[in-house]
Amino acid sequence: MTTVSDHPPAREMTLPDPVALPASPPVAGNAPLAPTESELRREAIRRTLTHHAGKKADAKAMADATLYTLSLISTRLTPVIGVRGVDVLFRRALHLTQRALPELLIFGGEEKESAALLTRIKSSLAECKPAVAAEASYTLLVTFTELLTPLIGESLVARLFDPVWVSKQELSL
């Protein structure tokens, strides 16, 4: 046992000895770790954008897929955090996306109305190279969901957005 003395009244307090933590469970060979919720959501976002863009998958199709997916997200999220909450979160995700992909320089935040901002984003994405549009769209949606998750929790994000994401089964139909 370890003895600790408090100050002013010299009172002794006894603490238990440190407890040894069990060793980590052995990892079997090269067994893959289960993907995290964030990794699964990222995969679902990419799958959803690809599906909604269709086989054409040019920049215009990707822009349409992005705005369609954002509208589905907004519809499901607005009752939870309100129109203003969705708008603020979206604008923050947009700002962070621009910082993460500075070569894009496609987003502007000076629009006061959300509809005007969405129109500008759609036209900007449509003018990009297809790979750039796809990466910007993916990054925007991932950033949005990752900003939202600590605010409302992983389980609520899953309940709200799982119906939005295209499943692997839907792709095979």
The rounded distance, in Å, linking the Cα atoms of 18 and 21 is 9
106 located within any domain: yes
170 located within any domain: no
- What's the domain count of the chain? 1
16 located within any domain: no
What domain range includes position 82?
36-165
173 located within any domain: no
Across the chain, mean pLDDT equals 81
50 located within any domain: yes
**Quick one: how far is CA 86 from the chain centroid?**
14
The rounded distance, in Å, linking the Cα atoms of 143 and 170 is 24
**pLDDT at residue 150 tops 90:** yes
98 located within any domain: yes
pLDDT in tens, 48-107: 999 999 987 799 999 999 999 999 999 999 999 999 999 999 989 988 988 888 766 555
Count, residues in the chain: 173
Q: Is 82 left (phi over 0), alpha (psi -120 to 50) or beta?
A: left
pLDDT of residue 79: 96
**pLDDT at residue 12 tops 60:** no
